[in-house]
């Protein structure tokens, strides 16, 4: 049985009942709230392990709420999974931009909900183990991005690339090389038979990030938005989530 705590913020009674019963049945400690105000009051007392957040709430949208939570040091790392009846690339990209961890569409499937919650808790655990490594690499990242044009960071990885004999190994090799500079990144490769291989530096799937890659594929060779940068070649698409914005 699980023991993690989850806040569900949902103003639709039937959706709330379904999510609450399913997650309680899996052993999670669930608290229910129907508004932004109830969520704030609950957060003053206790910060949960995860928040399931409806996008269409009265008075303040889930997107605005997420932005506010990401600016608060107490909730900046809490996984926020959006719940919405909208299933468009634009909505999912917006969810990613404001700091969402994942996205579940309505009508809600019980098994899909459980799998999403499990995956996000697993990612949170792995992220905790990587935190120190990322912090140690952050200063290196700032230097590396300024010197990349002069020295060429790919030089170091070229021998390893030549040893790759399949697409997945190639993608992981390139992402490992990028991750050592402190970048959180994902790569999509179009294989010889036209199918796509998606690989993330964490080793876990990130649906929102690959939805963003798909949206940016046809928008130019380099697409930047805030700290997110997409590099698009004919068959290879690289996404860096935390590109430094300083000169």
Annotate 135-198 with DSSP letters as a single string. HHHHHHHHHHHHHHHHH-GGGGTHHHHHT--SHHHHHHHHHHHHHTTT--EEEEEE-TTS-EEE
Q: Does residue 152 carry a pLDDT above 60?
A: no
Q: How confident is the model at residue 139 (pLDDT cuts 50, 70, 90)?
A: very low
72 — pLDDT class (breaks 50, 70, 90): very high
Question: What sign results for the dihedral spanned by CA atoms 27, 31, 35, 40?
Answer: negative
For 94-109, the pLDDT digits (tens) are 999 999 999 999 999 9
Q: What is the pLDDT of residue 245?
A: 67
Q: Is the pLDDT of residue 164 over 90?
A: no
Between 41-45, 74-78, 154-158, the lowest mean confidence (pLDDT) is in 154-158
**Residue 71, pLDDT score:** 93
The sheet that has 185-190: what strands, in order across it? 196-200, 185-190, 236-240, 228-232, 222-225
Whether 35 shows a pLDDT value over 80: the answer reads yes
Q: In the chain, which ranges are continuous DSSP H helix?
A: 13-25, 36-45, 62-70, 89-97, 110-151, 158-162, 167-179, 207-216
* Arithmetic mean of pLDDT over the chain: 82
What is the per-residue pLDDT for 155? 54
Does pLDDT of 195 surpass 50? yes
Greater pLDDT, 179 or 235: 235
CB atoms within 10 A of CB 21: 12
Cα–Cα–Cα angle for 81, 78, 94, nearest 5°? 45
């Amino acid at each position: 049985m699980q023991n993690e705590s989850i806040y569900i913020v949902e103003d639709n009674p039937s959706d709330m009942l379904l999510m609450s019963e399913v997650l309680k049945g899996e052993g999670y400690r669930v608290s229910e709230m129907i508004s932004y105000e109830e969520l704030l009051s609950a957060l003053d007392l206790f910060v949960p392990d995860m928040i399931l957040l409806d996008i269409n709430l009265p008075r303040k949208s889930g997107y605005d709420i997420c932005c506010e939570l990401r600016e608060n040091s107490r909730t900046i790392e809490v996984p926020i999974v959006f719940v919405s009846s909208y299933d468009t690339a634009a909505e999912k990209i917006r969810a990613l931009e404001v700091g969402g961890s994942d996205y579940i569409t309505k009508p809600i499937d019980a098994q899909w909900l459980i799998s999403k919650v499990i995956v996000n808790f697993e990612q949170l655990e792995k992220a905790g183990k990587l935190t120190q490594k990322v912090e140690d690499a952050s200063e290196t990242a700032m230097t590396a991005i300024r010197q990349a044009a002069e020295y060429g960071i790919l030089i170091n990885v070229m021998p390893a690339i030549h040893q790759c004999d399949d697409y997945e190994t190639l993608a992981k090799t390139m992402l490992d090389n990028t991750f050592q500079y402190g970048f959180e990144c994902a790569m999509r490769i179009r294989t010889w038979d036209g199918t796509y291989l998606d690989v993330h530096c964490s080793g876990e799937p990130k649906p929102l990030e690959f939805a963003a890659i798909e949206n940016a594929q046809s928008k130019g060779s380099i697409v930047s938005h805030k700290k997110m940068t997409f590099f698009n070649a004919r068959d290879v698409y690289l996404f860096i989530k935390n590109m430094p914005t300083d000169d």
